[in-house]
Amino acid sequence: MRGVSASQKRMCTLTYLHAVVTGASSGIGAATVRRLIAEGWEVTAVARRADKLAALAKEVGCATFQADITSDDDVAALVAELTARGPVHALVNNAGGAVGWDSIAASSLDQWTDQYAVNVVGTVRVTQALLPALTESGHGDVVIVTSTAGHEPYENGAGYVAAKTAEVAMARTLRLELTGTGVRVMEIAPGMVHTDEFSLNRFGGDQAKADAVYQGIEPLMADDIADAIVWSLTRPHHVNIDQMVVRPREQGGATKLVRR
Distance CA 170, CA 224 (A): 24
Distance CA 224, CA 110 (A): 32
| CA proximity to 220, closest of 244, 186, 185 | 244
171, with CB counted inside 10 A (0-12, 13-18, 19+), is buried
For the chain, give the mean pLDDT. Answer: 94
Distance CA 93, CA 259 (A): 31
Give catalytic residue positions: 160
Give how far Cα 172 sits from Cα of 27, 115, 151, 177, 201, Å. 25, 20, 12, 9, 28
Rg, the chain, Cα only = 18
DSSP 90: E
**pLDDT band (50, 70, 90) for residue 11:** very low
**pLDDT band (50, 70, 90) for residue 66:** very high
pTM of the model: 0.92
* 141, 242 Cβ separation under 8 angstroms: no
Write the pLDDT tens digit of every residue in 87-111: 999 999 999 999 999 999 999 999 9
Distance CA 17, CA 22 (A): 17
pLDDT value, residue 16? 83
Q: Determine the topology of domain 6-247 in CATH.
A: Rossmann fold (3.40.50)
Q: Count Cβ atoms below 10 Å from residue 248 Cβ, excluding itself.
A: 19
Q: What is the mean pLDDT of residues 67-81?
A: 98
The angle formed by the CA atoms of residues 41, 46 and 49, to the nearest 5 degrees, is 135
Higher pLDDT, 5 or 234: 234
Write the pLDDT tens digit of every residue in 140-193: 999 999 999 999 999 999 999 999 999 999 999 999 999 999 999 999 999 999
- Does 48 have pLDDT greater than 50? yes
Residues 6 or more apart whose CB falls under 8 angstroms from that of 36 comprise 19, 21, 43, 230, 233
